[in-house]
A and B are shown apart, each in its own frame.
Chain A
């Protein structure tokens, strides 16, 4: 299992943000994506997840191997914790949601409505979803927002377990997660917007 991106360019709202992004990750590796606000971390992750087409370059393997977690957790307020997780488990064809509940310390909350969860608890439930997808590559966008110290620890443990099992993790974050991992600063890939050959080129 390996994950590689070569010479990737992506755009947001028709405006190129990143170009020439290339890296390769082997099984068990974690990569932290860093860079100032607006550099295109979310755009890159959405492109990797297959939600928007790459302007250029290639990503292997394709989006069907990637579990994506965004800022929003995709929870339904009127369903319980268990129902929410059960739904995603069914969608991804996973039978057992107990390990995911345990990993993020949600067992005691299982019958509570998502509506009544705190922000951090919601986030933990959103992250627990990753465990039921059964996909080898995680693409996570600011996963630790609103998590307390202890929960960040749970998250780090989950990522470590995922990597030990041969998974690959990509994390876009500003916060120090206490995870031993390489970091990649995206600033170096900032698209050159003055160049003539993209950016609505036909209209200039």
Chain B
């Protein structure tokens, strides 16, 4: 029994049908525990007040925004090397989720930044990197939409994902360099890790787990939809050509 058997659409559909409800329920449980605990049963921060609680959405969303891209990178590589259709479709399915996660991270970041820094947006290296990541997601999704032949689209987007990953890392470095160059010492970046102590840490772990599970559940769901739509296309093409 090799892992690759799950790359067969039929096998994938069977397995994911069983797994999907578990992931969905676990995600809901983790999120409810984490968010309720985090929002209502932790004290306000002495410096930031209740605003600090945005952390429960902001940090997990930001993590998933990056993890979704990493997942797309891996599945794209699998598609290029092993030509498993499910892999390409999983990458396609993950992209809009990653896009939304990036958007959540950006918006919660702005909402958090407003009372803290007195402005909705600063060209902080971290925020700027996420903005660039957002653009990468947009381009990737647009390329999927633009190419008609699904295999061609999968190939081209995989190449874009590979090249894009290199440039995303490069941009991250460049942005760090750029901002440090312009606003020396005036960095407003909030380093979460040093701020968070135990009281906030445990609910945050639940939230992160919840977001991971939610992401997996959504990717499974969307991949199933993509497989079904490919199946419909295949059936329709066969009918047409008979």
> A residues bordering B, Cβ < 8 Å?
13-15, 193-194, 199-200, 202-204
Contact = CB atoms under 8 A, between A and B. Distances in A.
Interface stretch (B109-117, B162-170, B214-222, B226-234): B226-234
Contact of A204 (B8, B149, B231, B242): B231
A203 B233 CA distance: 9
Interface residues of B, number: 17
A203 B227 CA distance: 7
Contacts of B85: 202-203
Q: Is the interface of B mostly helix, strand, loop or mixed?
A: helix
B50 interface: no
B238 A193 contact: yes
Nearest to A17: B241
B151 A15 contact: no
A144 to B, nearest CB: 29
Interface string B36-47: 000000000000
A199 B238 contact: yes
Contacts of B227: 203
Contacts of A203: 9, 85, 227, 230-231, 233-234
Interface in B142-165: 149-151
Given A200-B230, A203-B85, A15 B237 contact: yes
B154 to A, nearest CB: 11
A11 to B, nearest CB: 10
Nearest to B151: A14
B10 interface: yes
A14 B150 contact: yes
Contacts of B237: 14-15, 199-200
A30 to B, nearest CB: 31
